[in-house]
Amino acid sequence: MKIVVIPGDGIGPETMAVAVEVVQAAARRFKLALDLHHDVAGHDSLRLHGATVTPALLEKVKAADGLMLGPMATYEFKDEAKGEINPSKFFRKSLDLYANIRPARTYEGIPTLTGAFDLVVVRENTEGFYADRNMESGGSEILVTPDVSISLRRITRLCCERIARSAFELARQRRKHLTLVHKANVLKVTDGMFLDECRKVAADFPDVTVDDFIVDAMMAHAVRAPERFDVIVTTNMFGDILSDLTAELSGSLGLGGSLNMGAQHAMGQAAHGSAPDIAGQNLANPLSQVLSAAMLLAWYAQKSGRGEYLEAAQAIEQAVEACVAARESTRDVGGQLGTREAGQALVRRLLA
């Protein structure tokens, strides 16, 4: 499996260094033929190449089996004409990574506000209320006058159908319960189309139980009783917000693994951002990036039929569970370790 590794901005180099060590340890234990290619995007690339991402990098990623991407300082990239492209968007769009899979579960050893739960948010990734995803060129936010602005939200039948299908397939592999989250009471045309397509796809999955919630009420249900959910499917921005909430409910945003996948390609990227407030201080929780890398290995196992990659992914998840339960973790999840030391503990558990 050939993987391009890009550390990213802020805490990215620290958390990605741990993810690489863990994946390499798993490769030794399960005899994986892993081929890691290191490259840069974001601020490093802007300094080196005059742009946060380059066409050559995209070609390299297209030729590989997967991408491990660190967090990007997206908010600082404002002017595409100056090479400041949002790398996360660039890869999601260029590789058509339409499904963002964001699991959230509680762990023994991490105190939470709720009871135990284990759910997955499946978020559409290529359209919706994202100014940089909807148009052939230019953004979908418009300044009408200096005091009037408009933001457009694109929803298409194709994208609804394919995200619904991904979510149903995942639900079928889990507890066979899918929740549709929408705002079709007021966004009757766009979210109405989303609901309509999800219900059409449901006909192909009679073994999966389906229910639906309006997004605002969903936030209350997620906080009150997250254990009642299995797989949740929703449009882009609702999924972005809901999955940060569920990650935090599970104990920390630093626990939120995330996979962006399409028909051909996949990218493991932590759910959190570049966390400039703690960058360079050996404080960041590396688990989100590690779990995202494990999801990439599991995706490749399914695509290639090579079971040893799934075993490696499961062993990484078990090592994470064991470390967290033993408080061999960073401070945000109740431990006392730095990023590097938490990574060393994970490798020890993985190879024990």
Helix axes 287-304, 307-325, angle to 10 degrees: 160
What burial letters (b/e) apply to 15-48, b meaning 16+ CB within 10 Å? bbbbbbbbbebbbebbebebeeeebbbbbbbbee
Q: Which two tokens stand for residue 73?
A: 């300082």
- Nearer residue to ligand NAD within complex by CB, 15 or 250: 15
CB of 235: closest distance to ligand NAD in angstroms? 17
Residues with active-site annotation: 130, 183, 216, 240, 244
CB of 47: closest distance to ligand NAD in angstroms? 17
* Residues at the interface with ligand NAD (CB under 6 A): 11, 15, 71-76, 88, 253-254, 269, 272-278, 284-285, 288, 332
Cβ-proximal residue to ligand NAD, closest one: 273
H-assigned helices in the chain: 12-30, 43-49, 55-63, 87-94, 157-173, 190-202, 215-224, 236-249, 287-304, 307-325, 339-351
Q: Which two tokens stand for residue 84?
A: 């400041």
- Nearer residue to ligand NAD within complex by CB, 184 or 278: 278
- Nearer residue to ligand NAD within complex by CB, 110 or 284: 284
- Nearer residue to ligand NAD within complex by CB, 67 or 171: 67
- Nearer residue to ligand NAD within complex by CB, 196 or 332: 332
Amino acid identity for residue 70 in this structure? G
Instruction: Measure Cα distances from 347 to 3, 26, 61, 252, 342 in Å.
Output: 20, 8, 27, 21, 9
CB of 21: closest distance to ligand NAD in angstroms? 16
What is the side-by-side order of every strand in the sheet holding 209-214?
Answer: 35-38, 2-6, 66-69, 266-269, 259-261, 99-105, 118-124, 231-234, 177-182, 209-214
CB of 241: closest distance to ligand NAD in angstroms? 11
- Nearer residue to ligand NAD within complex by CB, 84 or 196: 84
Q: Look at residues 75, 117, 79, 128 and name the one whose alpha carbon lies nearest to residue 241.
A: 128
- Nearer residue to ligand NAD within complex by CB, 8 or 197: 8
Q: How far apart are CA 71 and CA 53, in angstroms?
A: 14
CB of 277: closest distance to ligand NAD in angstroms? 5
For the four alpha carbons of 346, 266, 133 and 54, in that order, the dihedral sign comes to positive
CB of 157: closest distance to ligand NAD in angstroms? 27
What burial letters (b/e) apply to 170-183, b meaning 16+ CB within 10 Å? bbeeeeebbbbbbb
What burial letters (b/e) apply to 192-203, b meaning 16+ CB within 10 Å? ebbbebbeebbe
Q: Which two tokens stand for residue 74?
A: 């997206």
Question: Residue 112 in contact with residue 106, Cβ under 8 Å?
Answer: yes
CB of 275: closest distance to ligand NAD in angstroms? 4
